[in-house]
Chains A and B, each alone.
Chain A
Amino acid sequence: MKMNMTEAFDQALIREMKRDQRVICMCTMPMPALEREFGPDRMRHLPISENGFTGLAVGAALSGLRPVVVIRNTTFSLLAMDSIVNQAAKARYMTGGQASVPLVVRTEFSNGARMAAQHSQPAYSMYAQASGLKIIAPATPADAFGLLTAAVRSDDPVMCFEAARIASSSGDVPDDLDSVPIGRASVRREGDDVTIVGLLHTAGLAEAAADILRQDGIFAEVIDLRSIVPLDSSAIRASVRNTGRLIVVDESVPTCSVASEVLSLVVEDDETFGALRAPVRRVCSRPVPIPFSAELEDFVLPDVADVVTAVRSVLASELSR
C-alpha cells in the first residue's frame, strides 16, 4: 500500500499495539491515528519534561511495559540524554544482564526545514557512543514500517531517527511486510564505479547524484544505511571492495560522525583498504550550527551537487600504486 513516512510509522505502531498489550505510546504532541485507536491510556499525552518522561519510560520498560516515546525534535532529546544514555543504554550491562529495557525513542530533526540551530541537529552520532543503544534511521515508508516494528519488538532500547524533510515522502509498503532487521543496510542502486553511502535524507541525495552521474557513464552504487548501530560493515565493505571508491553523505558535521565511522570501517579492513583505488571522502554539513536564512542553510547543508563534485574529485585522483 502506498503511504507516507508518518503514516508508515503510525501503521507499524498500531499493528504492534494491537498485537501486544504491553506496548504503549507517549508523545507531547497529538498523534490522532493512535488516539482514535487506543484512547488516552495507551496513547498518552506527555507534559513537556523530556528527561522526566523518558526516565519514566525507562522505569516502565524495566518493569515490563514496552513504551514508545516520541520526542518531537532531536534537539529536545538532548534534555533526555541522562535517561537515554546513562539509564536505558547501560541498565542491562550494569546489572549483569538482569535488566531489560524494551524502549523505543522516536525523534525527528528539522535540517532543511528553516527551523534554525535549536531544531536542526541530527545528533545520532552522539548517541552512537552509548554502548547498549541500537539506532535506526529509516528513509523509506517500507523501512519506517519494518524497522519501527523491529524496534518495538526488540528487548533493547532503540532510538529511531527521522528526518523532517522526508516525513511526507511516499512509497509502497508491501502488504506482506513483517519487519526489517536492525543492522542491515540496503543497496538502492547497483554500480561498479563508486560507492555512495547515505542515510535518511542523504540516501535520497546519493540516488539523485547517481542519476546525474549515470548520464556521464559513471555507475554509482548507492547504499542506504538504514541502521547506525549496529552498522552494516559487511555490506559497506563488500560494495567498496567492488568499486574501489567511497563517498559518505551525512547531514551531521564531519567530526566524529557516522560518515567518519563508515570511512574507518573501510580503511581498517585490510582487504577493503587494499581494494581502494582513490582517497575516500565525506560529504557533511559545514561545521557550524544550522543557520536560519534559506540561503545560509542551503550553503551549509550537503546537496546533490556536493555529492556529484565529490565523486568527480575521487575519480580524478586515483591512488598511484
Chain B
Amino acid sequence: MSFDDADTLSMYRRMILIRRFEETAVGLRTGGEIYGPVHPYIGQEAIAVGVCSQLSAQDRIASTHRGHGHCLAKGADPAKMFAELYGRRDGYCGGKGGSMHIADFSIGMLGANGIVGASLSIAAGAALAAQFEGAGSVAVAFFGDGAVGTGAFHEAMNLSSLWNLPVVWVCENNGWAVRTPLSENVAAEQVTTLAGAHGIPSVQVDGNDVEAVAAAACVAVSRARAGHGPSFVEAVTYRMTVHAYLDKTVPDPRDPVEREAWRQRDPIDHYREVLTARSVLDGTADAGLRSTIEAEIADAVEYARRSPLPSLSSALDDVFSAEEGVLA
C-alpha cells in the first residue's frame, strides 16, 4: 500500500496532536488543575491514527477508557475535549462524562467507555445498523488486551461472524491490563488465534508503525465495506506511561529495561525518521508543524479554562429524552 505525501503528513500531524494533547492533560492532572482519571494514549498513537485514516465520517467507532486518541483520530475538537476534562459547560458532555465518556456522535465517535469489553458489543450493534443502512459504512471497536478475557469479547466475535457484520476488531495489545501482564491474562499464545476460533480472519501488525496499521486497516475496512464480514487486527504496542493518572496513581510494575526498549520505538520518532528519509519532511517543516499544534493545544486549554462551570440544574437534564419529560 502506498501513501501520498498529504496522507502521510496528515497522519504524522495527528499523532503529534494526540501526543501533545495527552502530555498536556497529564501535566494539568499532576499539577492539580484538572481532576478525575486520565488514561494517556501516549505510545499508542499510531493505532488510532492508522485505523481512522481509512474511515469516513459515516463510519462509527467505539472506544475504551483510554479514549482521547480515538476521539482525536476520528476528528474530535480538542477544545471541547479539554473543556470536558475540566468538567465545564462547553465540554463534549457538558461536564457529565469526563475523560472516560467523551463522545462526538456528529463524527461517528460513539464514546469512550469505562467498562472493559463494552466497545465490542457497541461496535457490533453499530455494524448491524450499517448493514441495514446498506451504504457500505463500517464500525470499528478499539479495545486492549485486557478485554480479551471478557465474555463481551467472545460474544461480540461470535455474533459478528454469525451475522457477517461489517466490523473491524482492533486489539491494541500493549502487553499489560493495568498491572497484569498478557501472559497472566490470556491463555492463548496469540490473541489472533481467538479471532480464528470464531471464523474471523486476523492479522498481527506493528502497532507503532502507522503505515503498517493503516495498511492492515485498509484491508479489513475494504472487506467490511464489500460485505465480506468482520476482520481482526492485533496491533502490538506499548503504553509509554502508567495505566492512569488518578488521585493515587497506580505504581508502574513494568521492568524499566522493557520500558526503555519501547521508548526507543516511539511511533512518532519512528515516523519522523521515515518521512525525513523519504524527503517528505525536514527539520523546518517539522518545527512549523509542531508549533501549529502547540498553538492549537494552547488555544484548546484556554477555551476550557474560560468555559463556564455547568449550571447546577444541568445535573438533572439528559436522563430521559425531552419530548417525554413526564417524570415522577
A residues engaging B (CB < 8 A)?
22, 24, 44, 47, 49, 51-65, 67, 82-83, 86-87, 91-100, 131-132, 134, 154-156, 181-183, 230-234, 265
Partner of B62, one of A52, A59, A100, A183: A59
The answer to whether B152 touches A95, judged by C-beta atoms less than 8 angstroms apart, is: no
The answer to whether B321 touches A92, judged by C-beta atoms less than 8 angstroms apart, is: yes
Partner of B121, one of A47, A56, A231: A56
Closest A residue, CB atoms, query B62: A59
Given A55-B124, A154-B324, list of 10 further CB < 8 A pairs? Answer: A47-B162, A52-B155, A52-B159, A58-B125, A63-B139, A82-B115, A91-B111, A97-B318, A98-B103, A98-B104
Interface size class, chain B: 35 or more
The answer to whether A62 touches B110, judged by C-beta atoms less than 8 angstroms apart, is: yes
Q: Does B323 contact A (CB under 8 A)?
A: yes
- Alpha-carbon separation in the docked complex, A65 to B134 (Å): 13
Chain A neighbourhood of B127, CB < 8 A: 59
B residues engaging A (CB < 8 A)?
60, 62, 91-97, 101, 103-105, 110-111, 113-115, 118, 120-130, 132-133, 139, 151-152, 154-156, 158-159, 162-163, 317-321, 323-324, 326-328
A186 CB → nearest B CB, Å? 16
B62 CB → nearest A CB, Å? 7
The answer to whether B125 touches A59, judged by C-beta atoms less than 8 angstroms apart, is: yes
Best-surrounded residue of A55, A183, A230, A233 (most CB of chain B within 10 A): A55
**Known: A53-B159, A58-B122, A59-B123. Is A183-B328 also a contact (CB below 8 A)?**
yes
The answer to whether B115 touches A87, judged by C-beta atoms less than 8 angstroms apart, is: yes
**Known: A62-B110, A98-B93, A134-B320. Is A55-B101 also a contact (CB below 8 A)?**
no
Closest A residue, CB atoms, query B129: A63
The answer to whether B124 touches A132, judged by C-beta atoms less than 8 angstroms apart, is: no
A-B contacts, 12 listed (Cβ < 8 Å): A52-B154, A59-B126, A59-B139, A82-B115, A83-B121, A94-B111, A98-B104, A132-B320, A183-B328, A231-B328, A232-B328, A234-B328
Chain B neighbourhood of A230, CB < 8 A: 326-328
The answer to whether A96 touches B97, judged by C-beta atoms less than 8 angstroms apart, is: yes
B162 CB → nearest A CB, Å? 6
Closest A residue, CB atoms, query B132: A65
Partner of A63, one of B95, B113, B125, B319: B125
- Alpha-carbon separation in the docked complex, A223 to B110 (Å): 41
Partner of A131, one of B93, B132, B156, B319: B319
